[in-house]
């Protein structure tokens, strides 16, 4: 039976990226060595790193004055590194979910944190829109996609202070005006590659903003000076990111991927909105294209477990909602084929016909 992988992360990757990475593990480009055993100082890995950076810049149209680095520690380490490097006195944060809350928690170790708006009052089912960022904030931090609750900021906001964005789960899903951001970061394990590598796109002018001494490994300047090679980088994870970037380019770039994502999301949201038994959990103007959350209507709540089991018989993997929301979550990242979304919709229709 074909499996339909809706896992929220680590998640589905382009099949060609998986296959080419597997080949490289056995023999990288015919050099007689595995990707897993080459030196990160070798010309072979330098070529991988250079192409990965070049494709990142090309696909996101990254202008001059920005650096791309690859680090370990996941986005969670960035929650600490960002205030360590940039928070002098006060930072502003938008609270839109669990990951934003974790970032806020870390920032409070380094200075005052101004939460300019929050959607916690309604269990993060919407993105706040009316808020003011203090002009004296050292930076404003946003989490663009809420993987747990299914909301997303799908535009590039204007900001009078440096704008920093966690784009772990929606990077490369739509064109971005990079010039509006001073730093973009994210774990790779949703839209880019396997777990183990974190990307950081950083405006060079943002550096050297604080007076405190920063440990060597936690300083962005360290990793820019020695381009992602100050210590041994996650070689395999970076290679798979390269294969994913090649795949995106082959499709026609990020704009083509966005068109696919919109089509997939519309297919599933339409099924939810027209259902007799399912209902969405997120305000329509805040809905994510990456993580689509829904539950059973109140009178059908007792059938949620039954649908979960039924979906498994149809090959659905990873659609159980986060414990804080319940219900169901279908993660429709870039690599998710529309055929899998259609299969989920068909399963929902079949279940509804038998139970409504």
Q: Give me the active site residues, please.
A: 99, 166, 190
Answer for the pair 151, 293: CB distance below 8 angstroms, yes or no.
Answer: no
Answer for the pair 294, 280: CB distance below 8 angstroms, yes or no.
Answer: yes
3-class SS shares of the chain: helix, strand, coil, % to 5? 40, 15, 40
The residue to which tokens 């772990």 are assigned: 168
**Residue 61: count of CB within 10 angstroms of its CB:** 13
Take residue 130 and report the two structure tokens written for it. 């009316």
Within 8 A by CB and 6+ apart from 261, the residues are 173, 174, 289, 290, 332, 334
Answer for the pair 144, 226: CB distance below 8 angstroms, yes or no.
Answer: no
C-alpha to C-alpha distance for 236 and 69, rounded to whole angstroms = 15
C-alpha to C-alpha distance for 304 and 307, rounded to whole angstroms = 5
Cα angle, residue 188 at apex, residues 185 and 190 outer, rounded to 5° = 110
Q: Which of 99, 317, 91, 318 is nearest to 182 (CA)?
A: 91
* DSSP alpha helix (H) spans, 12-97: 15-26, 43-59, 74-86
Answer for the pair 6, 322: CB distance below 8 angstroms, yes or no.
Answer: no
Gyration radius of the chain's alpha carbons = 21
Dihedral over Cα of 279, 282, 288, 291: its sign:
negative
């Amino acid at each position: 039976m074909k499996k339909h992988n809706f896992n929220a992360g680590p998640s589905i990757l382009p099949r060609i990226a998986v296959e080419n990475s597997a080949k490289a593990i056995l023999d990288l480009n015919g050099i007689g060595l595995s990707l897993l055993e080459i030196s990160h100082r070798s010309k072979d890995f330098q070529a991988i790193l250079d192409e990965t950076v070049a494709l990142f810049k090309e696909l996101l149209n990254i202008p001059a004055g920005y650096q791309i680095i690859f680090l370990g520690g996941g986005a969670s380490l960035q929650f600490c590194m960002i205030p360590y490097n940039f928070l002098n006195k006060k930072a502003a944060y938008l609270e839109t979910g669990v990951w934003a809350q974790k970032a806020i928690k870390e920032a409070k170790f380094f200075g005052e944190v101004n939460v300019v708006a929050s959607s916690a009052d309604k269990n993060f089912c919407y993105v706040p829109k009316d808020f003011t960022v203090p002009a004296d904030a050292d930076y404003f931090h946003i989490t663009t996609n809420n993987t747990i609750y299914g909301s997303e900021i799908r535009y590039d906001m204007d900001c009078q202070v440096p704008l920093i964005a966690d784009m772990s789960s929606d990077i490369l899903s739509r064109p971005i005006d990079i010039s509006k951001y001073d730093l973009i970061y994210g774990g790779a394990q949703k839209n880019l590659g396997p777990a183990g590598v974190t990307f950081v796109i950083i405006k060079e002018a943002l550096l050297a903003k604080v007076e405190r001494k920063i440990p060597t490994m936690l300083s962005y300047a360290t990793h820019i000076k020695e381009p992602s090679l100050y210590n041994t980088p996650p070689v395999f994870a970076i290679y798979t990111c390269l294969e994913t970037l090649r795949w995106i380019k082959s499709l026609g770039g990020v704009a083509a991927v966005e068109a696919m994502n919109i089509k997939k999301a519309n297919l599933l949201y339409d099924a939810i909105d027209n259902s007799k038994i399912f209902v969405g959990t997120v305000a329509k103007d805040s809905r994510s294209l990456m993580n689509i959350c829904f539950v059973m209507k109140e009178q059908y709540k007792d059938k949620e477990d039954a649908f979960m089991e039924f979906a498994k018989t149809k090959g659905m993997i990873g659609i159980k909602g986060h414990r804080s929301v319940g219900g169901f979550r279908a993660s429709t990242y870039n690599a998710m084929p529309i055929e899998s979304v259609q299969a989920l919709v068909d399963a929902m229709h079949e279940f509804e016909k038998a139970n409504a």
